[in-house]
Amino acid sequence: MAREIAAPGRTKEILEHHGFSFKKSLGQNFLIDRNILEKIVLASKAGSEDGVVEIGPGIGGLTEHFAKAAKQVEAFEIDGRLLPVLQETMAPYPNVRIWNEDILNVDMRRVLSEDLQDVQEVIVTGNLPYYVTTPIIMNLLEQRLPITRMVFMMQKEVAERIAAEPGSKNYGSLSIAAQYFAEPVKTMIVPKTVFVPKPNVDSAVVRFEIRDTPPVQVEDEAFFFRVIKSAFAQRRKTLWNNLQHNLTGREQREELGAALQEAGIDSGRRGETLTMQEFARLSDSIQHRLHQR
């Protein structure tokens, strides 16, 4: 029986055989711990009738585990140098298809309707490079794709921001945006020692259960997110200062004050103390006041 791809010795052999060198610009760090790979698959709840979209398969360590658990795996790898490696390592798995594409440029709705139309649930997974973690997650969430859940490995610091609660130092616009579209839960911490090459920081795995409907209803979703972004523009400033400088302008001080009062929110508070429900009330109140002019 062939050794698993993610076994440290086999990973080294594969990389040496193909003369592969890591590109720092692509944030390439391959996981070499079978136990953690199994836990990621368990966290995903992938079953034999499910389809998986994997972002950044690398040499196929995680891909192999999902190929054994799911019906079909569509793996998107941006680095063309890894295609011959993946063709070799994935040869035993006819249910894996490799794409040499940047996930941010992929028509994911087409992939789901044409390549994964015969599966029960769709799960998106991957070990995300730090520099594109937030764009990838938000791009997938904002499209409101017919996916059930996402399970991503990411830098621990980003995971803490995504799962943060109001009032904590990690809570910000990313926390609210992620929690608006999904229920993110940090499932495990992954030490930097189980990667090749070893990154500078520890990672974490976050599972996102995609919501059918957001936890709050707002009249204008785009404006709601503008309010949130403005409220966190400078964390040390009060809500009043941030909103006045980044959203309404000084000439609309009166309307902003009335909106805060109507929403029952003290203008001296800071953005990180507001719950999503309070931001929803505030967003609708500001919009009503501005439209009354």
Annotated binding site for S-adenosyl-L-methionine: 29, 31, 56, 77, 102, 127
Q: Rounded CA gap, 62 and 31, in Å? A: 8
List of residues 6+ apart from 276 with CB closer than 8 A: 166, 176, 179, 180, 215, 216
Binding residues: 29, 31, 56, 77, 102, 127
Count the alpha carbons within 13 Å of 247 in the hemisphere toward its beta carbon.
29
Q: Rounded CA gap, 51 and 128, in Å? A: 19
Q: Please, is 17 exposed, middle or buried when counting C-beta atoms within 10 Å of its C-beta (0-12, 13-18, 19+)?
A: exposed
In 146-172, which positions are buried (b, 16+ CB within 10 angstroms) versus exposed (e)? ebbbbbbbbbbebbbbbbbebeeebbb
